[in-house]
Chains A and B, each alone.
Chain A
Amino acid sequence: MAEPITAPSDSSLQAIQDAARDVEALTRELQQIVVGQRTTLSGIITCMLAGGHALLEGVPGLGKTLMIRALARAVQLKFSRVQFTPDLMPADILGTSILIHDSDGVRGLRFEPGPVFANVLLADEINRATPKTQSALLEAMEEKQITTNGATRPLPDPFFVLATQNPLEQEGTYPLPEAQLDRFFFKLQVEFPSEAELVEILNRTTGTQAEPSLARLDGARLREIQGLCRSLPAPPSLHRYVARLVRATHPGTPDAPPMVKKFIRYGASPRGAQALVMAAKIQAALNERLFPSVEDVREVLFAALTHRVARNFEGEAEGVTPEAILEEVSAHIRPD
């Protein structure tokens, strides 16, 4: 006997629609400062809603720092910026204990927090620092806390690291370790603006146009939207599809396509699978849908996995891009 369909409850749909509208409004506000770059902006917002970190890659002068600064202002979060250089030390990021004299003349050590103690941390040109300094961010990015002098200190909530790197200047730079790359939710390419966008940039930046006031979301609303996105139910077949997709990026698995077996040294980690599902849910929510689909996964596939698959020498020598390999994987793996 057929079960009667219960009366539709619009509360969930309504909540999702409200969240999508707020995010859309935030994007529109950001577009007043950042010309174009809608895909990059959308990726950064997705990272933020997922509670992850983003790595932006692009040539200098494309507005990466501006974009992140504007986002921090728009969500009314504490923002700090660190310019990574080869002589930067971990203490310069995390903070250090300094010797102080109190009013009573007693000397003691007091921890002076570093720039990491912020809601939004812009790590500018992160690949210019040595691996030792880069690894200072490992605990902060994954555990949202730091440990110095034997004391563990939590970081503000929410906490996002938005890092940038320049793909052109490789002299004196250090590639990010795989462990740190894996901690970035998305790696986003910042594209050069089109002619119309460039004209608009010139209009805005070479005139006397006043800087708009940005205040669209606060931390509480941001956390609420994050919770909504996480609550979306995902079909079991989607989880199976993502699992097969991630396993297929490993050259040793039987499902791996020939291109992976030939050009990949190692594939994406389970964090990659988590990022795929979470980003798909956010995509569904931003499109006012109550469940993620295979199309959502495919939409975020490159941003979530390009930095998580490592090519071998042959792949790099042949000039095979991670995007091409992931395209092959996506075509090779079919959903249930």
Chain B
Amino acid sequence: MSDARIETVLGPLLRIARRRQLLVSVWAHHCDWGVALVGMIAMVGTLAARGELAPAWWFVLAASLVPVIATLLAYRTLPSPRALLREIDGSLDNHDLLGAAYEFAAGSEEDSVGADADFVRSAKSSIYTSAAKHASEVCVSGIFSLRRYRLRRADLAVVCALVAAVLVPATSPDPAVTDATEAAIEPPLPAPAVEPRTRALVAPLRRELADLRVNDDELGALASALDRLLEAVHPDDAHLERALTELDALEAALERLQQASRDDLWIDPELLGAGVREIAEQLRTEEGGRPIARALGELDATGVEAALARALDSERRGGDDGEDSSQNARRERLLRRVSEGVERALKRQTKTAEELQTLERRLARNSSDDDPRAARRAREAAPSKERLERLRRRQRAEQRARDRLDRLRREARNLRRRSREPAPSHVEGSSGPEGERPARAGDEGARARPERALIEGLADATDRVSRSQRMTRTQAAVKAAGRTLRRLADDGTRSRSMEAHAEAFARAAQGERAAPGAQGTRANAGAPLQAAGDAEPRALTMSTEGSPASRSGQGNGAGAASAGPSPHLFGADEVALPAEDEVNPTSRSLAGTPGPGTSRAVTIHEATQRGFANTTYEDVFTDYRGFAQSALDDETIPTSQRDAARRYFRLIQPRK
């Protein structure tokens, strides 16, 4: 019944109004975002189609979906019939006649019962008649008018981009090249597990490790393990913690390796290395010694062994075959160069002996019995004794190195002497060619032994130097990796702390109170600083003192790369990471300036906490104002006195 009444009175108008409203709403969506979206799709489609990245019909389909989406959105937000009629009534200024008629028509006739039922029915009937008359005269298009489209900046930008996309020349790839390229396209690599920034951070270190892990020994295995660790490093907490644990294990293994190498037979690699370098320098100027010098420069023990053996062998064969004195001269020069190199190295003086003597004298002076402060000095001398022990060990290692070099020199001299000796034409007890052959074989064996000793000695020295250098480089790499991982961890912590601080400041700006400990992981989540005492409210000043901020790297060396044989090892500092700030605020309780009256004061000792010093006065004011308000509400007080109380509190209210 009610539906029929609505249909009679307002049905046509409602249908037209809904259709019109839908159209207006769809058009509004197009003006708001539809045009820009279609333009963007067209731009992307143009670029994609020209670059043959995607078929054009994809974008045509996407653009055609925009009106559909706009229509769906408009349909979802279409107002109810009552709201539509209220809008029409508002436009016609007829005091909601159509809306009231709709509501009365939708209602039940039983509403109008009682003494004035006839009057109500009559009134409603009049309302229906009047509403039907108005509804037939309503011009919906004048009420729900289409919004005029205005070109906005966003639309203009999209149009410009579209024009630019149209003007971009189309790429037409050579079919042959395309086929070849397509044939050569490899399957895509799996997505990297490590983020680009972290990968860039560890890349120099990994390049360094690539050189170190070529050797098939313990150091090579250790470098390989470190490289795998850096390859899989990820900047989240769990990964970094595990990586640091593994790194500690690698560091311990390296330490064990280093301790094992510095046994009682440890030969000082620096002095040995100096000898190797000097020999290489000497041989570089010699014609047959260049391959040996190159191998020595690269610290390639196998290469040294092979090159030296080849040089000595060829010289010997040359002497045998052609009886050429020039061959012997070259061999002589080669061995002389080796001897000179070794001698130059042996002439190098280290400061170890001098330091040792100085330290021994000092310790001897401090340990004299007649000194009353002997006990204290003995305690202070403990580190010096350790250093003394280290220096003695080093001196022994240097002596071994000198011995090794001296042996090389002797081998070289021995060979030179043998080379200068003329080859015996015959041996007693033998005659003819048959008798010469065993004698020559014996002579050959006598010359081969010092040759082999020289070759093996030089190769061994080279190997020791190489191993020592790789040990140092690996050690530096492990330390650099540790710094990088710790910096990544600190970076994450700092980032979270900054986010927490920013959030805390935002809340403080809104006047909220902080949850305890919500300001960051390193900040002190202390309780508010309390100060109480007899003080005038305005005379009481609260402050917080903290120790000056210290920069890391000044004391613990967290930010500096250690010197080593690999100057190109990158630390985290070289990728422009922010320096670490550490602030250690301390809380202090302060007594107020003595004065009349008692006041309370509460302040927060960090700016990131919510709440400031004037909150105190607000609280006190709020308390007393509440008491006064209660009295004003509950008691009979003349108006003048009320006004006086209100004026008083108005005058003393805290300033915003």
A residues adjacent to B (C-beta < 8 A): 1-13, 15, 127, 130-131, 170-175, 227-228, 230-233, 235-237, 284, 287, 289-291, 293-296, 312-313, 316-317, 335-336
Contacts and interface: CB of A to CB of B under 8 A. Distances in A.
A8 B649 CA distance: 64
Contacts of B9: 5
Interface in B10-30: 11
B127 interface: yes
A269 B9 CA distance: 38
Give the secondary structure class of A's interface. loop
A237 B100 CA distance: 9
B123 A291 contact: yes
A3 B95 contact: no
A9 B86 contact: no
B103 A235 contact: yes
A317 B647 CA distance: 8
B8 A235 contact: no
Interface string B249-286: 00000000000000000000000000000000000000
* Leading 7 A-B pairs by shortest Cβ distance: A231-B116, A170-B639, A12-B122, A2-B8, A235-B103, A3-B4, A293-B96
B96 A294 contact: yes
Contacts of A7: 125
Given A233-B123, A233-B124, A294-B96, 17 more contacts: A2-B8, A3-B1, A5-B132, A10-B126, A174-B636, A227-B116, A231-B120, A233-B111, A233-B112, A233-B127, A290-B126, A290-B127, A293-B100, A313-B628, A313-B632, A317-B649, A317-B653
Contacts of B125: 5-9
B39 interface: no
**Interface class of chain B by DSSP:** helix
Interface in B100-137: 100, 103-104, 107, 111-112, 116, 119-129, 132
Contacts of A11: 119, 122
A131 B636 contact: yes
B646 interface: yes
Nearest to A290: B123
B639 A174 contact: yes
B2 to A, nearest CB: 9
Contact of B126 (A4, A12, A127): A12
B124 A289 contact: no
Given A233-B123, A236-B103, A1 B646 contact: no
A313 B646 contact: yes
B99 interface: yes
Given A313-B649, A317-B649, A2 B123 contact: no
Contact of A3 (B5, B124, B649, B650): B5
Contacts of B640: 170-172
B103 A237 contact: yes
B83 A336 contact: yes
Contacts of B248: none
Interface string B587-631: 000000000000000000000000000000000000001001100
A174 B638 contact: yes
Given A233-B104, A235-B104, A291 B127 contact: yes
B82 interface: yes
A291 to B, nearest CB: 5
Given A174-B636, A227-B116, A231-B116, A316 B646 contact: yes
Nearest to B96: A293
Contacts of A336: 80, 82-83, 86
A173 B639 contact: yes
Contacts of A232: 123
Interface of B: 1, 4-5, 7-9, 11, 80, 82-83, 86, 95-96, 99-100, 103-104, 107, 111-112, 116, 119-129, 132, 625, 628-629, 632, 636, 638-640, 642-643, 646, 649-650, 653
B218 to A, nearest CB: 73
A8 B127 CA distance: 9
A7 B122 CA distance: 10
Contacts of A233: 104, 111-112, 120, 123-124, 127
A11 B122 CA distance: 7
Contact of B638 (A5, A13, A171): A171
25 contacts: A2-B11, A3-B5, A3-B7, A4-B8, A5-B132, A9-B121, A11-B122, A12-B122, A12-B123, A12-B126, A170-B639, A170-B643, A174-B636, A230-B116, A231-B120, A232-B123, A233-B123, A233-B124, A235-B96, A291-B100, A295-B95, A295-B96, A335-B86, A336-B82, A336-B83
A293 B100 CA distance: 8
A313 B625 contact: yes
A294 B132 CA distance: 21
Nearest to A130: B636
B102 to A, nearest CB: 9
Contacts of B122: 9, 11-13
A10 B129 CA distance: 11
Contacts of A231: 116, 119-120, 123
B95 A293 contact: yes
Nearest to A318: B650
A12 B8 CA distance: 22
Contacts of B625: 313
B510 to A, nearest CB: 14
A13 B103 contact: no
A9 B126 contact: yes
Contacts of B126: 8-10, 12-13, 290
A131 B11 CA distance: 59
A9 B127 CA distance: 10
A231 B124 CA distance: 11
Contacts of B632: 313
Contacts of A8: 125-126, 129
Contacts of B111: 233
A227 B118 CA distance: 13
B112 A312 contact: no
A129 to B, nearest CB: 12
A49 to B, nearest CB: 16
B13 to A, nearest CB: 13
B638 A172 contact: yes
A277 B638 CA distance: 35
Nearest to B112: A233
Contacts of B104: 233, 235, 291
A296 B653 CA distance: 41
B500 to A, nearest CB: 29
A8 B104 CA distance: 15
Nearest to A283: B95
Question: Which one of A5, A228, A296, A335 has the highest number of Cβ atoms from chain B below 10 Å of its Cβ?
Answer: A5
Contacts of A173: 638-639
A170 B121 CA distance: 52
A127 B99 CA distance: 44
A4 B123 CA distance: 17
Nearest to B5: A3
A130 to B, nearest CB: 8
Contacts of B643: 170
Contacts of A236: 103, 107
Nearest to A13: B126
Given A12-B122, A293-B96, A237 B8 contact: no
A15 B100 contact: no
B7 A2 contact: yes
Contacts of A316: 646
Nearest to B83: A336
Contacts of A9: 121-122, 125-126
A284 B127 CA distance: 13
A108 B381 CA distance: 126
Given A9-B125, A233-B112, A1 B636 contact: no
Contacts of A289: 95
A294 B86 CA distance: 10
Contacts of B119: 11-12, 15, 228, 231
B121 to A, nearest CB: 8
Contacts of A172: 638, 640
Nearest to A227: B116
